Amino acid sequence: MAYGRKITGGKYKKFSKKKKYSLSGIPRKAKLGKTKTKILRGMGGNTRTVLLACDSVNVIDPKTKKTKKVKIKNVLETPADKFLARQNILVKGALIETDLGKAKITNRPSQEGQVNAILLKE
């Protein structure tokens, strides 16, 4: 059989290296601290704001349906990884302590440039 062909006559596909667009980005973790953001360039020249650190959160009160911007005191618990809570890293699903009480983060802060949460019943 000719080189580059299977015994059945089918061709072997050539290996191609990863293109720039298929490479994964740097993993960013939003920490608790003075608010710090970064603007990244995406495909087609689109911009994306990523959050590096934040100390405030947009909290929605389910009873009154009102939103308030309050300070984050501490990260209490993270279901994804207990070590993220120890390092005060803000991720989706994390329970945080705010001025209004306990809240649960509902968005992905490191990718959206802000922190949104819903107030939990005490």
Specify the CATH number of the domain 26-119: 3.10.290.70
Domain boundaries, the chain: 26-119
**Half-sphere exposure in the Cβ direction for 19 (13 Å, CA):** 2
pLDDT at position 75 = 95
Question: In angstroms, rounded to a whole number, what is the distance separating the alpha carbons of residues 100 and 69?
Answer: 10
| Positions in the chain short of pLDDT 70 | 1-2
pTM for the full predicted model: 0.79
Nearest to 98 by CA among 82, 75, 121: 75
Question: In angstroms, rounded to a whole number, what is the distance separating the alpha carbons of residues 72 and 39?
Answer: 23
